[in-house]
Each structure stands twice: as C-alpha cells, then as structure tokens.
Amino acid sequence: MLVKTLLIFLITFFAVSEFLLGTSLIQRPLVLGPLVGLAFGQLELGIIMGATLELAFIGAVSIGAYIPPDMISGTILGTALAIEAGAGPETALALGLPISTVMLALNSVLSAPIMLVFTHMMDKDIEEGNIGKFKFHYFFGGYASFLPRLVVIPCAFYFGSEAVVGLLSQIPEWLQTGINISGGIIPALGFAMLAQMIMDKKIAPFFFIGFFAVQYLELNTTAIAIFALAYVVLMFFKEKDQKEKVAVVEGGDGLDEF
C-alpha cells in the first residue's frame, strides 16, 4: 500500500507540474488514467477509465469566473480506488466526479491564500529587479499552491481505499445497475457540453458524417480517426497551395510601381 501511495504522489506531482510546461495537457484524464493504471499493473483498464473520465470532463473548461471541477484529483483517485476495488470505469466515474467537486472547494479555500502570498512576493521581486528571487518564488510558490492536492490525494488513497472497497462490496445490484447506466450517460453529457460550445455550420457536417459512418458503415473509431487525419492533411496542403498562389498573384513585379 505504501508503494502505491508513493506512486500516487509522484503522479500527482507530475500532473501539477503543468504550470512549468505550458499547456502540455498532462493533467488531462487521458494522460493520468493510463499512468495510474500502469502504476497499478492495469494499464489497459487505466486507459479505459482515463478515456471515460476524459469524456466527462472534456466540456469542463474555465470560462470567466467559472472554475471547473478538479480533474486531477477526480481522475487519480477515481481510477486508483476503482482499480483497487476491482471495479470498472463506471465506478471510476461515479467516484471521480464527486471527488473533483470536493477538491475544487478545498483548492478555493487552501490554495488561493498560498498563491496570493507568493504573488505579492513576486511583485516585490520585479520591483526590486531581483530576477533570481522571482524565479525561486515562482517555482516554489507554484508547487506550494498545489500543496493541498499533493497532500490530500495520496492520503485519501492510503486511508480511504479499504473503506471504498468495503462500501462498493455492499452496493446492491439495482444500484450498481444504475451506476453502470449513468457511467454511459455522463460521458455523453460531457461531449454534448463541448459540442455546444464549438458546433457551428462548418463543423456540423463532419459530426454527422462521423456519426453515420459509425452507425451504418460499422466503422470503428480508429478507422474514423484515420480518415479524419487524412482529410485534415489534405485540406492543410490545399489551403497552403492556395495561399502561395494568392501571394504570388498579389506580389506582382517590383517595377510596376514605376
């Protein structure tokens, strides 16, 4: 258990390091799920759980003052506890969503004050022109602001895994059936949230083409992805050629001005 808890801590540390790596997307469930599965010797199950949670969180983006649930804690704990209990992706989803919501509240209460302290320190460093101290406060303050996650996630797994396993073993069959059904609905809702934000008259035809290709031609998602990639590459080079032709036509001859 200690080894697994240590691995959970390292995965959490890796996930929160995105502030140093730009928008690398390493904190997405599609990345963290397989890492947890690999750490627990269940890579395939981790990939499935990560993909399921990714669909649920795919439409949860920060817009304005809205802060989405904490997908790091939801993915890591949901996947780890579900694998430990011998359950499936539906259980990972059922555990991950409430965990991410609770962790969002904890982050708002605990992380924000820490970030505020280090932000004032960095402001002072810039005013004094001390770049060395600014780098130190940025690096150390970044990880310090994620301290609640670095502490809560491993501790929650270490102290709560047995309780979760015992609780899941007591769930009646009718409730487990409901969890399995919701496990199929919630990812669809997450995808619908994303589609609502990006769908327009230019994208809608591709959505329906993909849907009918799967439904009536019985193509799997891998085949659809390959066709989509080929089309994107084709359109990229086509637009590139058009831009080059326009540039040549508009460029003209330098002597025309005379």
What does the pLDDT look like over 170-188, one tens digit per residue?
A: 667 776 677 667 666 766 6
Of the candidates 163, 181, 198, which is a domain's last residue?
A: 198
Are 127 and 216 in a shared domain?
Answer: no
Of the candidates 198, 216, 242, which is a domain's last residue?
A: 198
Q: Which residues of the chain have pLDDT under 70?
A: 59-66, 164-171, 175-176, 179-180, 182-184, 186-188, 190-191, 194, 197, 247-258
Are 138 and 221 in a shared domain?
Answer: no
DSSP-derived 3-state class of residue 63:
strand
Closest-CA residue to 28 (of 81, 95, 76, 94)? 76
> Which pLDDT score is estimated for 206?
82
> Which pLDDT score is estimated for 148?
85
Are 105 and 222 in a shared domain?
Answer: no
Q: How many domains does the chain have?
A: 2
68-89 burial code (b ≥16 CB/10 A, e <16): ebbbbbbbbbbbbbbbbbebbb
10-42 burial code (b ≥16 CB/10 A, e <16): ebbebbbebeeeeeeebbbbbbbbbbbbebbeb
Are 72 and 124 in a shared domain?
Answer: yes
Q: Phi/psi at 210 (nearest 5 deg)?
A: -65, -40
The CA-based angle 201-204-210, given to 5 degrees, is 160
Residue 122 lies in a domain: yes
Are 44 and 142 in a shared domain?
Answer: yes
Are 95 and 107 in a shared domain?
Answer: yes
Query: What are the tokens at 122?
Result: 């960095």
Residue 135 lies in a domain: yes
Question: Taking a C-beta distance cutoff of 8 angstroms, is the pair 146, 111 a contact?
Answer: yes
Single-letter amino acid, residue 109: V
Are 155 and 223 in a shared domain?
Answer: no
Of the candidates 155, 170, 198, which is a domain's last residue?
A: 198
Residue 255 lies in a domain: no
Name the CA dihedral angle for 233, 235, 241, 243, rounded to a multiple of 10 degrees: -120
Q: Phi/psi at 232 (nearest 5 deg)?
A: -65, -45
**Cβ contacts of residue 251 below 8 Å, gap of 6+?**
none
Are 205 and 120 in a shared domain?
Answer: no
CA distance 177 to 175: 5
Residue 258 lies in a domain: no
Question: Taking a C-beta distance cutoff of 8 angstroms, is the pair 7, 154 a contact?
Answer: no
- Residue numbers of the domain that contains 225: 200-250
